């Protein structure tokens, strides 16, 4: 009775073999994969089966496809996944708020992590951003936030954050305004000094400002 339910799913097997091939071949992100016809021959399966596997990986954002050009291992982030999630999983209205909230959670956590770690606090990138704020008119908001996530050292969190950011991106006003400068400076300085509460407060103020100014 207790049948083991041998999960056959040949289609998933191809995905697995593709992964092995990529590893064995040492294909790096951005590089080209063998053509569908070659893969079909190499794996001893039909081309349509190969395509079904490739299409799935494409939806996940793991590969990129150029008509007439070839198939490539994805280098950067993708927004396919988030679009699908958006349309299928997140059907309710509240979902957009959730994306926003979750995104902010990652950012706050990154600030906490950085504040509590001395070597992260003294990363040269903060001083660099501080200077940039002083010299230039504004900086790209997401750029600063991405640096925070990167510095926190959690690559999975970065992956997730990129997806969330891609979805909740604000079309207008990507650059910070003059009004934001003191808040951002406060955030960076507090962080460099390890003042967690003040850094978070500055962050909250900033986000509040962004939300109000965009509405």
Tokens of 96: 């957009």
Figure out which of the listed residues 24, 28, 44, 156 binds a second copy, where binding follows CB under 8 A. Answer: 156
What's the rounded Cα separation, in Å, for the pair 38 and 56?
A: 19
Extract the tokens encoding 169.
């991106």
Q: Give yes or no for residue 47 binding DNA (CB under 7 A).
A: yes
Q: How many helices (H) and strands (E) does the chain have?
A: 11, 2
- For a second copy, which is the closer residue by CB, 40 or 154? 154
Nearest approach, Cβ of residue 26 and a second copy (Å):
13
Question: How far out from the chain centre does Cα 175 lie?
Answer: 19
Cα distances from 45 to residues 25, 42, 73, 169, in angstroms, run 19, 8, 21, 41
We find the least distance from the C-beta atom of residue 6 to DNA, in angstroms, to be 11
Residue closer to DNA by CB (options 30, 153) is 30
Candidates 28-36, 77-85, 182-190, 200-208; binding stretch for a second copy (CB under 8 A): 77-85
SS3 32: strand
| Residues in contact with a second copy by the rule CB under 8 A | 11-12, 15-16, 19, 48, 51-53, 55-60, 62, 80-81, 83-84, 87-90, 92, 94-95, 98-99, 101-102, 105-106, 108-109, 154-157, 159-160
């Amino acid at each position: 009775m207790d049948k083991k339910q041998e999960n056959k799913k040949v289609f998933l097997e191809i995905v697995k073999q593709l992964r092995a091939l990529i590893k064995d071949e040492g294909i790096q992100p951005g590089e080209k994969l063998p053509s569908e016809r070659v893969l079909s021959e190499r794996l001893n399966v039909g081309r349509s089966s190969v395509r079904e596997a490739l299409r799935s990986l494409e939806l996940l954002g793991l590969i990129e496809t150029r008509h007439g050009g070839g198939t490539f291992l994805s280098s950067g982030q993708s927004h396919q996944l988030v679009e699908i999630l958006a349309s299928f999983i997140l059907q309710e209205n509240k979902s957009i708020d959730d994306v926003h909230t979750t995104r902010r959670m990652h950012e706050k956590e990154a600030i906490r992590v950085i504040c509590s770690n001395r070597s992260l606090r003294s990363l040269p990138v903060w001083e660099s951003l501080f200077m940039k704020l002083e010299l230039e008119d504004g900086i790209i908001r997401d750029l600063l936030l991405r640096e925070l996530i990167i510095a926190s050292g959690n690559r999975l969190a970065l992956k997730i954050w990129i997806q969330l950011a891609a979805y909740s991106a604000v079309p207008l006003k990507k650059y910070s305004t003059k009004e934001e400068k003191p808040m951002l400076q406060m955030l960076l300085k507090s962080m460099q000094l390890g003042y967690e509460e003040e850094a978070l407060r500055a962050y909250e103020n900033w986000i509040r400002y962004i939300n109000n100014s965009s509405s």
